[in-house]
Amino acid sequence: MSGVPPRIEAAGGVIVREGLIAVVHRGRYDDWSLPKGKLDEGESFEEAALREVREETGLDCELGEELEPVSYIDEKGRPKLVRYWRMSVLGGEFEPNDEVDDLRWLVPSEATVLLSYPHDRELVESVTR
């Protein structure tokens, strides 16, 4: 045992609809972020991205281009890798849930001001260049 914690793997999406970006508020953390979450055992990054977006936003989406992955050390000191995709909405509707209590559709400049984390702001900027 090396003492290095295992890498946490997660996936999510930058959901784009009519030039607007979906930004979610997580009550537990009181932050604004892009929808994402950890992979379930045996799940691919792509499957996790679609599932997490559906769970957090109520939206069924399709994957577009993969964006630059994000790596950082989480609040528990574990290395974390998050892969994101640009996504477009196929259907569904947001309803507040246990993880996400608000969803806003914002123009990219408003989204980058509201988002709590630099890596989320960089992702939004990358899809709107």
Give me 77's structure tokens: 């000191």
pLDDT 10s digits, 75-126: 889 999 999 999 999 999 999 999 999 999 999 999 999 999 999 999 999 9
What span, in angstroms and rounded, lies between the C-alpha atoms of 50 and 18? Answer: 19
CATH architecture label of 8-127: Alpha-Beta Complex (3.90)
Q: How many helices (H) and strands (E) does the chain have?
A: 3, 8
Predicted model pTM: 0.93
Question: How far apart, in Å, are the Cα atoms of 31 and each of 1, 91, 100, 113, 121?
Answer: 35, 25, 10, 12, 13
How do the domains of the chain map onto residue ranges?
Answer: 8-127
